[in-house]
Structure 1
Amino acid sequence: MTIPPDLRGRRRRDPFWVAVNAVYNGVQRVRGLREPVLPDVRPVDRTLRLTVVGVRPEAEDVVSVRFGAVDGRLLPRWQPGCHLDVTLPSGRRRQYSLCGDPADRRTYRIAVRRLPGGDGGSVEVHTLRPGAVVTSQGPRNAFPFLASERYLFVAGGIGITPILPMVKAADRAGADWRLLYTGRTRASLPFLDELPAGLVTVRTDDEHGLPSGTDLVGDVGDGTAVYCCGPAPMIESVRASVPEGAALHFERFAPPPVIGGEPFEIELRRSGRTVAVPADRSALDAIRDVLPGVAYSCRQGFCGTCRTAVLAGEADLCSPADRDAGSMLICVSRASAGGRITLDL
């Protein structure tokens, strides 16, 4: 049957298909009111399996280690300031700054100073040989390198590792930059031969004595981005000497000392123990006296490895997210007002 046109010459719609369309649209509207069925969400495993492809001495008690992907694929991109969370063959988890070339997607490079009196991580890195396999998380950036017209870089010893890629990036960008590189002796300073030609001042303790804040910062001008990495005393000297008009960015490679803390107690619910935390120690250090296997990494409050559930009591220095989740970072957080806190450990 032919449907006659309407008054404007358009073909009339077939009543049958009009009805079918109405039923179809009605079903779709009903479906839209229902709760959508979501697929199962599975966490993405971002663990990298890396193999050691090279180990090289860089200075007294310092070696660099190059890693490649076990399966040979390209590695994730990174920027100056990034670090890896490396799990060593022993199970120790440590953070190391990337100090190679961000354009190199085949290898990552770290450098580590051997600390015989440390907790064993640096000593273990010095035993790694080509073919050894480690796992890592990252790269992650807790020390971002921001664009600026002028830079002052201050590096102390092994603190050159995050600074070196920044200096090279500033040089490639044509920025106005200078570097002050300090250490015990010239023989203890890695990567001296890799520094780009520019305003580089090497100041060693054996030749010039311990530097003051003025020696480190000089007459830094307003609008200068100051990037500093090194021992805690050096960082504190720089912080005290940088004028308000300069932007200071710094990264420690050791935890800051506990200053102005109050003693408190921690109940370890699962372990059935109570730990007294003195005013000058962190909760992490006190807990490790009785639970040496407790997980930690940076000890500075940004990596999240030591995050622990709080079962009772209140903790200070917690982020809003940690407070809402009822957790704390035991490397930096303490019981509020020197009270008592109960942890799921």
Structure 2
Amino acid sequence: MFHPLRVSEVERLTDDSVAVTFDVPPELRETFRHIPGQHIALRRTAQGQEIRRTYSICAPAGASDPVLRVGIRLVESGEFSTYAFKELAVGDTVEVMAPTGRFVLEPRAGHFAAIVGGSGITPVLSIAATLLEREPGARFCLIRSDRTVASTMFLEEVADLKDRWPDRFQLVTVVSREEQQAGLPSGRLDRERLTELLPSLLPVAEVDGWFLCGPLGLVTGAEHALRGLGVARSRIHQEIFHVDDGAAGVLSPASARVPARSTLTATLDGRSGNWPVLEGDSLLETVLRGRSDAPYACKGGVCGTCRAFLVSGEVRMDRNFALEPEETEAGYVLACQSHPATAEVELDFDR
């Protein structure tokens, strides 16, 4: 469900990014109270076409009134990011969905670390700030990669964390397209470099949770490096911010057997319905024909907004960059990427 929220601030962060803050009225404070690391979906209609995009909340998770602030980077040919960067102004109204997402960290004692690239800093900023503020027994190491210093989002906010908690917050910065006077040499943070770098920065095996966020290449390389260093899969959490159309991630071959006719039964907000699945349609597209309130944002298998439990039947997912292995093993699928592999399929969006 979307709620119209007023824009209270638009702050230019870099030459290609902004931070947008929304007013949350008293009656919606509980609706928009977020867990550190969650994201929101934004919706607008332009020239009769609905546009939805998800953006992570960068503000700490407050104990009282929620602060709803997101970071938006301008993407080439990106309809919503172009609108937000060039047109969105204080006083405008944007339709906003309640916070969701499982790339989260509830504050607790321990040693945590993040490897982020570009705008992947956005959810991690909320995670680190909330953790350090609420849990005196926690430490956090942030390893961030950006193209240049000028393109680095939330420079001041990250510097503030270092100033406030110098003994509990470790910051390592790498830029890929310019030399730095101090710090690490420039270059990409790929698997080989991280495998060599990480043990020299912190006790890898003692870190209680790793949070990887950014482009697919960075996240995949970081995961492989950590697994090669002996980190258990259960301690690695990841969120992809950008996936090229040709990127890998197909879970089952396109030639997998598809029934000639299939019917989908779906439960959403306590109400069930069933619809025939048209040839070529995903299960999300099938639900949307009868329920326009079905949850989705990116339709690319990245954000996880359309996550649903597979009650019965079988499906094939084209690709998955949002669900953890434990979730798929437990029976969850991405409706936007799922197609029926049996004549009857049942999904539950409420679980």
Calculate the TM-score normalised by the size of structure 2. Answer: 0.66
Going from structure 1 to structure 2, the CA distance change for 1:234 and 1:320 (only over 3 Å counts) comes to closer
> What is the Cα deviation at residue 66 of structure 1?
0.5
Distance across 2 between alignment mates of 1:319 and 1:236:
18
Structure 1: state its 5+ residue gaps. 1-45, 277-282, 288-292
The structure-2 alpha-carbon separation of the partners of 1:250 and 1:106, relative to structure 1 and needing over 3 Å to count, comes to: closer
Question: Does the Cα contact within 8 Å between 2:284 and 2:336 map onto a contact in 1?
Answer: yes
Q: What residue is the counterpart of 1:124 in the other structure? A: 83
Q: Does 1:213 align with 2:213?
A: no
Name the CA shift for 1:302/1:253 in 2 (closer, same or farther; >3 Å): closer
Q: Distance in 2 between matches of 1:286 and 1:257?
A: 23
Structure 1 residue 331 and structure 2 residue 336: aligned? yes
Out of 48, 51, 55, the residue aligned to residue 92 of structure 1 is 51
CA change 1:257–1:267 in 2 (3 A) is: farther
User: In structure 2, what is the equivalent of residue 316 of structure 1?
Assistant: 316
Q: Would the alpha carbon gap of residues 123 and 333 (structure 1) be closer, same or farther in structure 2, given more than 3 Å must change?
A: same
Mapped partners of 2:139, 2:104: distance in 1 = 18
Structure 1 residues 81, 341: closer, same or farther in 2, change over 3 A? same
Give the Å deviation of 1:143: 0.9
Deviations 1:250-295 (A, max 9, x none): 111235633464224798999997549xxxxxx69999xxxxx998
Task: Determine which of 93, 101, 111 is the counterpart of 1:141.
Answer: 101
Structure-2 separation of matches of 1:332 and 1:226: 27
Instruction: Give yes or no for the alignment of 1:59 onto 2:14.
Output: yes
**SS of structure 2 residue aligned to 1:263:** coil
Q: Which runs of 5+ in 2 are unaligned?
A: 163-168, 179-185, 263-274, 287-291, 318-326, 347-351
Kindly indicate whether the alpha-carbon contact (under 8 Å) linking 2:15 and 2:151 is maintained by their aligned counterparts in 1: yes
Shift of 1:167: 1.6
Distance in structure 1 (CA, Å) of the matches to 2:23 and 2:74: 22
2:139 to 176, 187, 191: 176
**Do residues 159 (structure 1) and 120 (structure 2) align?**
yes
The residue that corresponds to 2:253 in the other structure is 262
Higher relative contact order (CA 8 A, sep 6+): 2
State the shift of 1:204 in Å.
0.7
Q: 1:117 to 1:340 in 2, by over 3 A?
A: farther
Mapped pair 1:199 → 2:170: yes
Q: Which amino acid aligns with 1:122?
A: S
Specify the structure having the higher radius of gyration (Cα): 1
The reply to whether residue 80 of structure 1 matches residue 51 of structure 2 is no
If the length of structure 1 is used for normalisation, what is the TM-score?
0.67
> CA 1:272–1:286 in structure 2 vs 1: closer, same or farther (change >3 Å)?
closer
Corresponding residue for 1:238?
222
Structure 2 residue aligned with 1:297: 297
| Number of the residue aligned with 1:280 | none
Amino acid at match of 1:210: R
- Give the whole-Å Cα distance in 2 for the aligned partners of 1:296 and 1:102: 24
The alpha-carbon deviation at position 116 of structure 1 amounts to: 1.9
Worse-matched range after superposition: 46-55 or 260-269: 260-269
1:315 alignment partner AA: V
Return the offset for 1:156: 0.5
Q: SS of the counterpart of 2:239?
A: strand
Distance 1:204 1:301 in 2: 25
Partners of 1:267 and 1:121 in 2: how far apart? 38
- Give the secondary structure class of the aligned counterpart of 1:93: strand
Q: 1: CA distance between counterparts of 2:303 and 2:155?
A: 30
Q: Is the 8 A contact 1:231 1:254 kept in 2?
A: yes
Instruction: Measure how far apart 1:176 and its partner are.
Output: 2.5
Supply the distance in 1 between the matched residues of 2:57 and 2:18 (Cα, whole angstroms). 13
Q: Give, in angstroms, the shift of residue 177 of structure 1.
A: 2.1
Amino acid at match of 1:263: A
- 1:144 is displaced (CA, Å) by 1.7
| RMSD (Å), alpha carbons | 4.0
Residue identity over aligned pairs, in percent, reads 22
C-alpha change, 1:201 and 1:320, in structure 2 (3 Å) is closer
Q: 1:241 to 1:286 in 2, by over 3 A?
A: farther
Task: Kindly indicate whether residue 256 of structure 2 is the aligned counterpart of residue 251 of structure 1.
Answer: no
CA distance in 2, matches of 1:78, 1:260: 31
| Partner Cα distance (1:158, 1:284) in 2 | 30
The Cα of 1:248 is off from its aligned counterpart by 0.8
CA distance in 1, matches of 2:204, 2:84: 40
